[in-house]
Amino acid sequence: MDHSPRSPYSYGHVPQPIRKSDGAGGVDLGPRDIMRDKENPNMFVPPVTDSGLLPNMKFSFSDAHMQLNQGGWSREITVRDLPIATTLAGVNMKLTAGGVRELHWHQQAEWAYMLLGKARITSVDQAGRNFIADVCEGDLWYFPAGIPHSIQGLEGGCEFLLVFDDGSFSDLNTLSISDWFAHTPKEVLSANFGVPENAFNDIPPGQVYIFQDEVPGSLESQRVQSPYGTVPLSFTHHLLAQPPIKTPGGNVRIVDSSNFPISKTVAAALVEIEPGGMRELHWHPNNDEWQYYLAGQGRMTVFAGNGVARTFDYRAGDVGYVPFAFGHYIQNTGDQSLWFLEMFKSDRFVDVSLNQWMALTPRELVADNLHVGGELLNALRKEKWPVVRYPGYTYLPE
């Protein structure tokens, strides 16, 4: 093997933990996972501004256990995988054409974003009002805590992200109709429904979770008329169809209980950051942020106060996290758009912009506090731009 260095910072295409700006670090010839080092350039060679102790703020679905079933798969990132993430938990699920996530309910509310394909969802609320809808890419659904529901893949199947308003949630630990039937005496089932015990001869012996079924007929053919009507607040929302807030460098679609009224415990923003752009320096005055990266790659530094800041790299399929009120930005480090979801256990989406805060504060105070001059003060903006890009001041990946 040729170990001759072509540059002091890398052996061929193998990155080395040496910081160019100050020469800190040294060559690593020992055991290592070069693919992962390449995926995490800002963890491998952190910015010189990183400092102090901060818990891990990243977990990839690629490092999560896959639950494989006839009809689909699921994998989850909960507080067991990412201990800092106590407010929300996420599940990435695939359902084949006809594949069913069985009739079930849970103690947590369920918010979902459709990544690919089409699905049919059903639900019935406590007043006997029912709900059925077909959802496609870019659509959301929300089932309040305790409300029963099902999901079925339509022609072509589907993949989606589920988010639950409790970091301790597990999708493998929900209340399922098959599980309840299997653990109820047959004479009780018989007495409950007024049919002979042998009507239950073939029920599943335990929780089914996901199963393969036929692709269902049309929505109209499956609609059940309820004497109590349908649910008063829709359980779905077309997020991608919503007009975004556009700024130079990207766009943002915000969804919370103000435009998706049923979603009382989960608020979100779907963000696109174009190459060279970044989600500006900001924080959230309401709760922790749980992130899901849909496409592209980026980096985020989380600032915790007291000199503590740590930078993480993210790419499609990763989950990121920011504790309540901690400062952060997300910068596109790739050559395609970076798409991600910011999610909060809250009835509303709120953020505080560093730029806007400074612009709306007396100039002398900002100048004397930071020792900055007119060049910066005149560039401050009173309007909030969630995503920014300034030609000549963009991050250029190597």
Catalytic residues: 342
Distance, in Å, from the CA atom of 23 to the CA atom of 16, rounded to the nearest integer, reads 11
Pairing of the two strands 58-60 and 318-322? antiparallel
Q: Is 374 helix (H, G, I), strand (E, B) or coil?
A: helix
Q: Which CB, 252 or 358, lies closer to Mn ion? A: 252
Taking the complex as a whole, the smallest distance from the CB of residue 196 to Mn ion amounts, in Å, to: 32
Token pair belonging to 188: 């009780």
Taking the complex as a whole, the smallest distance from the CB of residue 144 to Mn ion amounts, in Å, to: 11
Query: Which residues are bridge partners to 152 per DSSP?
Result: 100, 120
Token pair belonging to 243: 């007009």
Q: Which CB, 260 or 283, lies closer to Mn ion? A: 283
Question: Is residue 299 within 8 Å of residue 309, measured between CB atoms?
Answer: no
Q: Which CB, 150 or 234, lies closer to Mn ion? A: 150
Taking the complex as a whole, the smallest distance from the CB of residue 342 to Mn ion amounts, in Å, to: 5
Residues 51, 53, 56, CA angle at the centre, nearest 5°?
A: 110
Q: Which CB, 45 or 268, lies closer to Mn ion? A: 268
Distance, in Å, from the CA atom of 205 to the CA atom of 207, rounded to the nearest integer, reads 7
Taking the complex as a whole, the smallest distance from the CB of residue 29 to Mn ion amounts, in Å, to: 39
Q: Which CB, 11 or 283, lies closer to Mn ion? A: 283
Taking the complex as a whole, the smallest distance from the CB of residue 368 to Mn ion amounts, in Å, to: 29
Pairing of the two strands 175-176 and 297-305? unpaired
Token pair belonging to 25: 């670090």
Q: Which CB, 11 or 149, lies closer to Mn ion? A: 149
Q: What is the DSSP letter of 233?
A: S
Q: Which CB, 76 or 342, lies closer to Mn ion? A: 342
Taking the complex as a whole, the smallest distance from the CB of residue 13 to Mn ion amounts, in Å, to: 34
Question: Is residue 245 within 8 Å of residue 252, measured between CB atoms?
Answer: yes
Distance, in Å, from the CA atom of 189 to the CA atom of 196, rounded to the nearest integer, reads 9
Buried b or exposed e, range 335-370, using 16+ CB within 10 angstroms: eebbbbbbbbbbeebebebebbebbeeeeeebeeee
Site of interaction with Mn ion (CB under 5 A): 110, 289, 342
Question: Is residue 271 within 8 Å of residue 300, measured between CB atoms?
Answer: no
Taking the complex as a whole, the smallest distance from the CB of residue 326 to Mn ion amounts, in Å, to: 9
Taking the complex as a whole, the smallest distance from the CB of residue 321 to Mn ion amounts, in Å, to: 11
Q: Is 1 exposed, middle or buried (0-12, 13-18, 19+ CB in 10 A)?
A: exposed
Which residue in the block uniquely carries the two structure tokens 């093997």? Answer: 1
Which residue in the block uniquely carries the two structure tokens 């409790």? Answer: 166
Report DSSP letters for 195-227, one per residue. S-GGGGTT--SS---EE--PPP--HHHH----T
Q: Which CB, 110 or 288, lies closer to Mn ion? A: 110
